[in-house]
Structure 1
Amino acid sequence: MPVPAPNLYPDFNVIRLSHVCLNVTDLEVSRKFYTETLGMQITDEDATHIYLRALEERGHHCVILQKSDQPGTVEVLGFKTFDEPDLDRAEAYFAAKGRPTQWVERPFQGRTLLTCDPMGIPLEFYHHMDRLPPIHQQYALYRGVKPLRIDHFNCFSPDVDASVAFYSDFGFRVTEYTEDAQSGRLWAAWMHRKGGVHDMAFTSGIGPRLHHVAFWVPTPLNIIDLLDLMATTGYVANIERGPGRHGISNAFFLYILDPDGHRIEIYCSDYQTVDPDLEPIKWDLTDPQRQTLWGAAAPESWFKNGSPFVGVETRAPQITASPIIAP
């Protein structure tokens, strides 16, 4: 089944992914991990929430840690629109698609539209977020892996074809995809708005669940430094996969787990995709260099474990094809 043609003139304009709200068990434990190991900066905190940003970001937050009795789950994925009128156009668009819409109050954000995609992934859209002074040249603040910005989400979907069709319709463009040759259906796809390889990706699996959230770092050496740090500060068991280089995206990567099991990718060295006529790259599911150009194959946990969305039922994938899994 071919990927949909991109909609270059969508009903409303999403410019990029923005933030994620992760539910955690212990804010102090998570605080230590996200600030000392990852190196993110706290922008606000109280008894139930910690707001964090990466070092290049001017928006108030890209991660919200929320103390919850459902740790290991995800509240919402956030996206920024080009302007305020885009929010009203988005409300009309999602309502016309039969999706629920609701205006919600969010700290440090302006008007925020809450909805969900057909799989049930909770999505929120806003235009205004409080802006903070730049800190990207305050090198004394750089800690851990030195994350510069949030880069992308990857979600398990039980029907990747349907997910790709839905996001394509409001302007996301496919850069690379994996097709199951036997069924002709999509097993995974990478889609963007901001001109990188992806803001949002979908992988076939029990879903919807968040597979991972990724952060961009300056160089592969930052990832090596993080591995040394985690190996000597009690987090060696939290290293799940990598380092290595993906075939898809060509990026240097590492996957780690936070204290509640949320998967985080540390990511750099992908490529620019701004041309509107860029043709997506097709990969066969059995190509051993698809997921790992070089490095160890992904472990079974990488294909099975993910963070559920609060209140959203999961279901089995529609295709049973499987990629190469490490023994």
Structure 2
Amino acid sequence: MPIPAPNLYPPFNIVRLSHVELGVTDLAWSRGFYVDTLGLQVTHEDAGHIYLRAMEERGHHCMILKKADQPSVGVLGFKVWDEADLDRAEHWFRGRGLPTQWIERPFMGRVLRTCDPFGIPLEFYARMDRLPPIHQQYRLYRGVRPLRIDHFNMFSSNVDQSAQFYSDIGFRVTEYTEDAETGRSWAVWMHRKGGVHDVAFTNGTGPRLHHTAFWVPTPLNIIDLLDLMSTTGYLENIERGPGRHGISNAFFLYIRDRDGHRTEIYCSDYQTVDPDLEPIRWDLKDPQRQTLWGAPAPRSWFELGSVFDGVPLVESDLKAQPIIAP
């Protein structure tokens, strides 16, 4: 199927991805992983929640860890330009027959809760509490020195349909993987903020969250994190990498927490702000698609993901497979 053409005048203006809520079974363990090891900063915590931000972020949080009986993902959050865009978003989603609800969220103004056609829970807001800058408080830097949240990657049972829906609300395709036998998209990368992606969709049983990514200063920060994790009890939480993606050209590492939530540590992709930027096509069987150096990903990377709370799963009917490590 053809890749959607850029929608330069969407029905409402999304600035960027913003935050994710992860249901975790052990808040203390998760704090040790995300705060003490990765280096995210705590902005609020209580008996049931920990709110986190990265070093360059001025908004109150980019990740919420919520105590839960079972691991899941509560919501993916996006920032819109202004309050009028929130009203336009509600009108647009209702017009598509998708549920809308105004909800209360700590540290945020009006929040619109809705979902995409596959059931992924989404929320949109224009205002979040602003915090003083900390990017020059170098005494706070630790772990992998995460600077900002970068993107979400989701498993989708129909990547072409996901790409079309998110194109309709203004996300633009930068790169995609095509299955040559069927002509269908196996994965797509789409952006709002001018990097390679704010959201990506990978073929598989979905919807599930494949990973949340954080941008870090340099590849050397990733090496430092690997040394730290391998000597502080987190060796088994290292899943894949380090390496350099063919798609996006980014240097990467994938790690998974005790509940199975996957985080990508990410740097060195490229600028995509031009409105006429042509998407880059990759063949599914190209060994440099996954890793520029040719190393395939492990099977867990293609099969394991985090479920969205209360959202039923659908198996993809596209059975094409990339190269998988033995």
Q: TM-score range by the shorter chain?
A: over 0.9
Deviation at 1:164, TM superposition (A): 0.3
Structure 1: which 5+ runs fail to align? none
2:324 corresponds in structure 1 to: 325
Please state if 1:139 is matched with 2:121: no
Q: 1:125 to 1:140 in 2, by over 3 A?
A: same
1:117 corresponds in structure 2 to: 116
Q: State how 1:61-210 maps to structure 2 within 5 Å.
A: 61-71=61-71, 73-210=72-209
Deviation at 1:284, TM superposition (A): 0.3
Letter in 1 for 2:193: K
Q: Partners in 2 of 1:13 and 1:89 — Cα distance?
A: 9
CA deviation digits over 1:165-200, x for unaligned, max 9? 000011000000001011111100000000000000
Identity, % of aligned pairs? 76
Given that 1:242 and 1:296 are in contact with CA atoms closer than 8 Å, whether structure 2 keeps it comes out as no
Structure 2: which 5+ runs fail to align? none
Moved more, 244-253 or 29-38: 29-38
Deviation at 1:318, TM superposition (A): 2.2
1:217 corresponds in structure 2 to: 216
Q: Partners in 2 of 1:151 and 1:295 — Cα distance?
A: 24
Please provide the CA RMSD for this pair: 0.6
1:273 corresponds in structure 2 to: 272
Q: Partners in 1 of 2:256 and 2:169 — Cα distance?
A: 32
Given that 1:244 and 1:295 are in contact with CA atoms closer than 8 Å, whether structure 2 keeps it comes out as no
Q: State how 1:295-306 maps to structure 2 within 5 Å.
A: 296-306=295-305
Q: State how 1:279-294 maps to structure 2 within 5 Å.
A: 279-294=278-293
1:264 corresponds in structure 2 to: 263
Given that 1:38 and 1:146 are in contact with CA atoms closer than 8 Å, whether structure 2 keeps it comes out as yes
Q: Partners in 1 of 2:308 and 2:293 — Cα distance?
A: 32
Letter in 1 for 2:21: C
Letter in 1 for 2:249: N
Q: Secondary structure at the match of 2:270?
A: coil
Q: Partners in 2 of 1:282 and 1:34 — Cα distance?
A: 34
Q: Partners in 1 of 2:293 and 2:259 — Cα distance?
A: 29
1:5 corresponds in structure 2 to: 5
Given that 2:285 and 2:322 are in contact with CA atoms closer than 8 Å, whether structure 1 keeps it comes out as yes
TM-score normalized by structure 1? 0.99
CA deviation digits over 1:57-101, x for unaligned, max 9? 000000000001122x10000000011100000000001111110
Q: Secondary structure at the match of 2:290?
A: coil
Q: Secondary structure at the match of 2:64?
A: strand
Letter in 1 for 2:44: D
Q: Partners in 1 of 2:69 and 2:258 — Cα distance?
A: 15
2:48 corresponds in structure 1 to: 48
Letter in 1 for 2:48: T
Given that 2:114 and 2:122 are in contact with CA atoms closer than 8 Å, whether structure 1 keeps it comes out as yes
Deviation at 1:259, TM superposition (A): 2.0
CA deviation digits over 1:246-297, x for unaligned, max 9? 0000000000011211000000000000000000000000000001101631
Q: Secondary structure at the match of 1:155?
A: strand
Letter in 2 for 1:266: I
Q: Which runs of at least 4 in structure 1 moved beyond 3 Å after TM superposition?
A: none
Given that 2:287 and 2:294 are in contact with CA atoms closer than 8 Å, whether structure 1 keeps it comes out as no
Q: State how 1:230-269 maps to structure 2 within 5 Å.
A: 230-269=229-268
CA deviation digits over 1:80-126, x for unaligned, max 9? 00111000000000011111100011100100000000111000000
Given that 1:243 and 1:295 are in contact with CA atoms closer than 8 Å, whether structure 2 keeps it comes out as no
Q: Secondary structure at the match of 1:289?
A: helix
2:59 corresponds in structure 1 to: 59
Please state if 1:21 is matched with 2:14: no
Q: Partners in 1 of 2:58 and 2:238 — Cα distance?
A: 29
Letter in 1 for 2:164: A
Letter in 1 for 2:101: Q
2:38 corresponds in structure 1 to: 38
